[in-house]
Amino acid sequence: MNRLFLFQWFLLLLLFIFTKTSISSKPHKIPRLTPLPKNIIQDPNTITSSSSNLPKEFETYYYNQTLDHFNYGPKSYSIFKQRYIINSKYWGGSNSSSPIFAYLGAEAPIDGDILGIGFLTDFAPRFKALLVYMEHRYYGKSRPFGTMEEVLKDEDTRGYFNSEQAIADYAELLLHIKEKYSAQNSPIIVIGGSYGGMLASWFRMKYPHIALGALASSAPILYFDNITPQNGYYSIVSKDFKEASKSCYRTIRKSWSIIDKIASRKNGLSYLSRKFKTCSHLNDSFELKDYLDTTYAKVAQYNNPPSYPVTVVCGGIDGAPKGSHILDRIFAGIVAHQGNQSCYNTSNIPNETSLGWEWQTCSEMVMPIGRGKKDTMFFSSPFNLDDFIDDCKSKYGVSPRPHWITTYYGGHDIKLILHKFASNIIFSNGLRDPYSCAGVLKNISHSLQAVYTRNGSHCLDILSAKPTDPEWLTMQRNTEVEIIEGWITKYHADLNALKHGKKP
């Protein structure tokens, strides 16, 4: 009897092990952080990395950048070419002590941001500012070691690929630019959006002697180390859809189980492939659900006026013929958003940006984003740190450091800590942006200010101004500019006081 029991127990154990190892787990997805909607909604493989098409006032340079700012070994003194672009069209000159607006590049080539991030060029004439756009190491043309694929295969070279090195690059480069333009008394305002917004806020905290202030747009600096509930991002996506249309929200929420049910049937995946006109045959139901999940998240993150993509998707879903099957309504939403195409690509094709961001999230940028069974309009996909670590180890042979960001930059008890030592940071957000759940939404001090709009989306405030912009968006930008003007006015007053031997 005991032997039979042991044998049965052994069989169950084998079954458990086989089940755990034979079912391929889906890698955890951290939604991309980027300021421009075109960089994520359009096919990333169509984005070119060339600054040759820019207006002539944008001049491209390369700086001999230090490979490793934090080590004095022989390899640390290696250099690589870091690309930066200057626009001096509006520059008042070094004698005028006009400011320098420095845009901090993020996880993409710098080319796409230069014309899209219109905040700099829109307000440069008002400030007579020198504009500087700096590319993040390992992206675009600022790669130290060949292609992104080559970099990520080398255990040593990819170790220099992190945010700490990136903002040290920016510090060294900005000091070089100040010297180059004889602009020692020109205050620097760093500007960034999304991941770049995080870099901007962190730069001001780490290098206050270089940057007078920072505009951190849509910077989710609190989405680390469980400071923000993991379902925060998808809760706001769900809220955006529910506010646009409750029937649309309910349709999406019901669709996931129907997709799974159909996929489980014989020829079910073939049926779904035809139903959604996928460019290639679906491998499993997750591929379709992930495609829909990503689409809904994108349109919510970049729910920009005047089109408001969430409303477009819901218009398609709700506008389907009466009595349409629920999946026909879901597909109608895709068509409304993406247009009537011959087929729809549900496959994720790796590119430089996605590969680089995957490494960054598997090393230090560990953002525990997930959701439970019924707390959003999505299917359940909780963040599991152990699974995430295992997945990253299988890819890179090293474990991510989930607590490093808060150790190095802070994050816990931010209101208590920052008001004692930090200053001159604008945390701007739009509350329709899913990442706003992890942004700073309340003033911390008189110079650590939260500027947000109820209807704003991801990084909307730093995009180019348009005649169709609503009044609330124009007011948000004007508020930010007035704050920056106040910083610069005080800087010059303090500088003048010091020159006359007075206390600033």
Known catalytic residues? 194, 433, 458
How do beta strands 130-134 and 213-217 pair?
A: unpaired
170/134 Cα distance (integer angstroms): 7
Pairing of strands 425-430, 448-453: parallel
Distance (Å, whole) CA 26 – CA 32: 17
Report the SS3 class of residue 132: strand
Q: Are 141 and 61 in contact (CB under 8 A)?
A: no
Select from 254, 255, 245, 243 the least CA-distant residue to 319.
245
Query: Which phi and psi angles does 49 have, rounded to 5°?
Result: -115, 70
Residues 6+ apart with CB under 8 A from 460: 304, 430, 433, 473
Secondary structure element (H or E) that encloses residue 86, with its range: strand 79-87
Instruction: State which H helix or E strand residue 80 sits in.
Output: strand 79-87
What is the dihedral sign for C-alpha 310, 229, 224, 380?
negative
Task: Tell me the two tokens of residue 408.
Answer: 């190095």
Cis peptide before 467, with omega less than 30 degrees from 0? no
- The CA radius of gyration of the chain, in Å to the nearest whole number, is 25
Nearby residues of 478 by Cβ (< 8 Å), 6 or more positions away: none
Angle at 173 between CA 421 and CA 183, to 5 degrees: 80
Give the span between the Cα atoms of 386 and 397, in whole angstroms: 15
CA–CA gap between residue 103 and residue 200 (Å, rounded): 9
DSSP string for 136-167: PTTSTT--SSSSHHHHHH-TTGGGG-SHHHHH
CA torsion through residues 32, 38, 39, 41, sign:
positive
